Amino acid sequence: MDMEKIKIFDTTLRDGEQSAGASMSVEDKLLIAEKLDEMKVDIIEAGFPYASKGDFDAVSKISEKTKNSIVCGLARANFNDIDCAGKSLKRAKKPRIHTFISTSELHMKYKLKMKKEEVVEAIKKSIKRAKKFTDDIEWSPEDASRTDLDFLYKTIDIAIASGATTINIPDTVGYAIPGEFGKLISNIKKNVTNIDKATISVHCHNDLGLAVSNSLSAIIAGARQVECTINGIGERAGNAALEEIVMCLKTRKDLLPFYSEVDNKKISSISHLVSTVTGFSVQPNKAIVGKNAFAHESGIHQDGMLKHSNTYEIITPESVGLSSSELVLGKHSGRHAFKVKLQNLGYKFEETKINELFVKFKSLADKKKQVFDEDLLALADEERSLKKSNLIELIDISISSGLKKKANAEVKLSYEKKIKLSNSDGSGPIDAVFKAIKKILNVKANLVVYQVNAITKGTDAQAEVSVRLEDEGVSVLGIGNDIDTIVASGKAYINGLNKLILKKDKAEDSKKALNSQAEEIDKHVI
Ligand code: KIV
Ligand code: ZN
């Protein structure tokens, strides 16, 4: 059977960032884009350049750094958006502009307040404008799955005639059912006469939990590009999960004669990175990337697995980049083994960084009997997060607390190269630590989210703490790992404060640029 390629279009940095509370910094986006490029996704939708200066900067920098993937910027159907996207993609080796406008009655009437003829005109003009910057144009009829079919066919025909090379069919509100969505794609193939001049793409939201099923149904019906996000993050209930689509194609070749070029072995590490950067932990039973995705708990299953792994395992942990044996390294492991392990997990660090990380690993291995892949992923991601700024460094924390005792924390840190000491009571040990740190730095930094996860099993598991801090409209995520939850919390808080200080400095510059953009941002349509 001949296998056909499915292009993987990753929109973690655009639609994924639209998840409530998931804002990512430009540096975070660069890290994710670098990994997406390494894992060979075909297209990276890097942002919506006209929406903010941060998005514009992220798309420009990602354009400059990306080696293999097409870099795409989103634009509404107006010249400001399109010109801005075109500019941000200037340095991309392979730039794509993705422009869209709503085509459903509901959206045209209430959101756009436009007539059908006006929408048609906007499609023609916007695609022609985008063509000035690149030949690679993707066009989407927003809310396609609730659009009148004849009007949908007509707009697709016009978009292709105007120069669109990819037609993306979004199930914007996650309303479609698999059979119905597949039929929509076959109907488009049957009824749009010039459809063979474009690639059909799909973009499914997960409001009814059907985003991946709908995408697969569309592939069977003729779609050759799928839009998806790491861990399925995205607007509301999210988008189709990249890892699920890729592993479905790989696992069920008997029924799905298609392939993607994505390196599935990099799935676990990018999933971890996205979860760390956004602060959205992955639910334990999440397909492919959940903590329990390869855990066999019941005796019957464990017995079956020991006799033959195929009894209960349809994909292996190795296929997504985790090692088969749970214990990967111990306190006697050498530097070389450690370096190779990091590479296998998808990380490339300079030699000096590897040495620093190796020291941290040794100290972890001294405290913890078993060091798992997940421990190393956390160590590496913490390192990447810390490298951005070390204005404030934690030197020591000691606490006293108890059932009948008020919690108290003593904190020692270095700030602007001077050693500072502080002490505070709190309603609990974490509250006391945060208050003691705040006293030294005299910052406002509101704590909006505090989250703690055990990275692996066992009472000696490392705690991974994430905190979201906000100050005057600037929001950052801090992370910290340690065997001691209180220390991990202190590290996360300081990591967040470092980022907040950096970001607030930059925010002043952005504010001026944003003000001039803001006046125009609501001019929606040509
Ligand atoms: O969900 C949607 O319709 C979108 C479009 C911009 C493609 O994200
Ligand atoms: Zn979307």
List per-residue pLDDT tens for the chain, 526 residues long.
Answer: 689 999 999 999 999 998 877 778 898 899 999 999 999 999 999 999 999 998 999 999 999 999 999 999 999 999 999 999 999 999 999 999 999 999 999 999 999 999 999 999 999 999 999 999 999 999 999 999 999 999 999 999 999 999 999 999 999 999 999 999 999 999 999 999 999 999 999 999 999 999 999 999 999 999 999 999 999 999 999 999 999 999 999 999 999 999 999 999 999 999 999 998 888 889 989 999 998 888 766 666 666 667 777 777 789 999 999 875 444 677 788 888 888 888 877 787 889 989 989 998 988 888 876 787 778 888 887 776 655 557 898 999 999 999 999 999 999 999 878 899 999 999 999 999 999 999 988 778 889 889 898 887 778 888 989 898 888 877 788 889 899 999 999 999 998 898 888 776 655 545 554 455 445 544 444 4
Task: Say if residues 8 and 228 touch (Cβ distance below 8 Å).
Answer: yes
- Supply the pTM of this predicted model: 0.81
* Candidate of 205, 225, 233, 524 to mutate for ligand 1, largest count of ligand atoms within 8 Å of Cβ: 205
Residue 475 is predicted with a pLDDT of 78
Q: What is the pLDDT of residues 357-412, one digit of tens each?
A: 999 898 888 887 678 777 888 888 777 665 555 789 899 999 999 999 999 999 99
The verdict on the CB of residue 145 being under 6 Å from ligand 1 is no
Residue 380 is predicted with a pLDDT of 84
d(CA 59, CA 53): 10
Task: Say if residues 293 and 286 touch (Cβ distance below 8 Å).
Answer: yes
Ligand 1 centre to CA of 350 (Å) is: 39
d(CA 419, CA 390): 14
Q: Which residues pair with 76 in a beta bridge?
A: 100
CA distance to 53, 54, 60, 159, 517, per residue, from 85 (Å): 12, 13, 9, 18, 14
Question: Whose alpha carbon is nearest atom 4 of ligand 1?
Answer: 172
The token pair that represents 318 in the structure block: 């190795």
The token pair that represents 193 in the structure block: 């006469």
Q: Which helix (H) or strand (E) holds 450?
A: strand 446-454
Question: Whose alpha carbon is nearest atom 5 of ligand 1?
Answer: 142
Nearest to 147 by CA among 171, 166, 165: 171
d(CA 145, CA 204): 10
Question: Whose alpha carbon is nearest atom 3 of ligand 1?
Answer: 172
Q: Which helix (H) or strand (E) holds 204?
A: strand 199-204
Residue 16 CB contacts under 8 Å (≥ 6 apart), including other chains? 22, 229, 230, 233, 234, 239, 274, 278
Sequence-distant contacts of 322-325: CB under 8 A, at least 24 apart: 322/268, 322/294, 322/373, 323/373
Ligand 2 centre to CA of 239 (Å) is: 7
The verdict on the CB of residue 98 being under 6 Å from ligand 1 is no
Question: Whose alpha carbon is nearest atom 2 of ligand 1?
Answer: 172
Largest CA-CA distance found in the chain, in angstroms, rounded = 78
The token pair that represents 40 in the structure block: 């060979």
From the CB of residue 320, how many other CB atoms can be counted at a distance below 10 Å?
A: 22
Q: Which atom of ligand 1 is nearest to the CA of 205?
A: 1
Q: In sequence order, which ranges of 444-484 are alpha helices (DSSP H)?
A: none
The verdict on the CB of residue 140 being under 6 Å from ligand 1 is yes
Nearest to 275 by CA among 484, 451, 434: 451
CA distance to 111, 126, 167, 501, 520, per residue, from 121 (Å): 17, 9, 17, 47, 21
Q: How far is CA 283 from the centre of its chain?
A: 15
Residue 1 is predicted with a pLDDT of 65
Residue 525 is predicted with a pLDDT of 43
d(CA 464, CA 372): 14
> How many angstroms separate the first and last alpha carbons of the chain?
47
Residue 219 exposed, middle or buried by CB count within 10 Å (0-12, 13-18, 19+): buried
* Candidate of 103, 172, 202, 206 to mutate for ligand 1, largest count of ligand atoms within 8 Å of Cβ: 172
Q: In sequence order, which ranges of 308-428 are alpha helices (DSSP H)?
A: 335-344, 351-367, 373-386
Residue 521 is predicted with a pLDDT of 43
Q: Which ligand is nearest to the CA of 143?
A: 1
From the CB of residue 363, how many other CB atoms can be counted at a distance below 10 Å?
A: 12
* Candidate of 103, 142, 228 to mutate for ligand 1, largest count of ligand atoms within 8 Å of Cβ: 142
The verdict on the CB of residue 146 being under 6 Å from ligand 1 is no
Helix, strand counts (H, E) of the chain: 16, 18
- Buried b or exposed e, range 85-97, using 16+ CB within 10 angstroms: bbebbeebebbbb
Nearest to 63 by CA among 38, 95, 41: 95
Phi-psi region for residue 231, left (φ > 0), alpha (ψ -120 to 50) or beta? left
